[in-house]
């Protein structure tokens, strides 16, 4: 499956490059690039879930700084936030550390941030905090949203749940990212929960023993 995915993505990218060489970059080629990027992310998420379901992706634990990882994970999302006029608030306590799989926690952070940027909307607010609470490291990501989902918060972690189908199609969501994030938290002996903050905000909290 992974090989076929890699070959298909490479073929699509090559076709887009060839077209641009002849015609220059166009709206069509930009759209194909974006769709390729989205499908690449979807396939990566599906592969992660498949490996975890099969027990083929055990956490490779090591001592790490959750504070540093959070700062690092933010970097790719700063420009998209700025472009949409999203206000970022960060409250990252220095020195919060734990033992976990660095790659899996980085992926978890990226999935939560990607979800927040997609659904906050222009002019909204995202707040990221990392704190030490007793013997647990706590990561909290809160974002405003035009409207809250109508299902219970735990439903958001169901695979392929997408809420407003029209809006998620526009934003490029496939309803798999939060399911992956939830599985990654559990794989590292942690938890991930969602909480609605009426009228227009949602909070995701991940906690890990340290």
pLDDT tens for each residue of 149-181:
999 999 999 976 655 544 444 444 446 889 999
Architecture of domain 62-209: 2-Layer Sandwich (3.30)
Burial of 7 (0-12, 13-18, 19+ CB in 10 A): exposed
At residue 197, the pLDDT reads 96
22 has pLDDT over 90:
no
Q: Which of 120, 137, 118 is nearest to 129 (CA)?
A: 137
To 5 degrees, how large is the angle CA 6–CA 176–CA 67?
Answer: 95
Domain boundaries, the chain: 2-53, 62-209
Q: Does residue 181 contact residue 110 with C-beta atoms inside 8 Å?
A: no
Question: pTM of the entire structure?
Answer: 0.74
């Amino acid at each position: 499956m992974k090989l076929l995915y890699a070959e298909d993505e490479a073929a699509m990218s090559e076709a887009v490059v060839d077209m641009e060489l002849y015609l220059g970059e166009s709206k069509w080629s930009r759209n194909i690039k974006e769709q390729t990027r989205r499908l690449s992310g979807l396939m990566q998420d599906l592969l992660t879930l498949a490996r975890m379901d099969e027990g083929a992706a055990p956490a490779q634990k090591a001592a790490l700084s959750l504070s540093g990882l959070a700062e690092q994970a933010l970097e790719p999302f700063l420009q998209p936030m700025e472009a949409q006029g999203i206000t970022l608030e960060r409250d990252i306590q220095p020195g919060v550390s734990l033992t976990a799989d660095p790659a899996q926690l980085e992926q978890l952070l990226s999935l939560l941030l990607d979800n927040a940027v997609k659904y906050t909307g222009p002019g909204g607010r995202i707040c990221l905090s990392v704190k030490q609470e007793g013997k647990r490291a706590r990561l909290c990501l809160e974002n405003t949203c035009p409207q809250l989902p109508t299902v219970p918060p735990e439903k958001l972690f169901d695979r392929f749940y997408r809420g407003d189908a029209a809006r998620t199609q526009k934003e490029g969501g496939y309803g798999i990212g939060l399911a992956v994030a939830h599985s990654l938290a559990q794989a590292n002996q942690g938890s991930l929960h969602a909480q609605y903050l009426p009228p227009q905000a949602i909070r995701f909290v991940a906690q890990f023993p340290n």
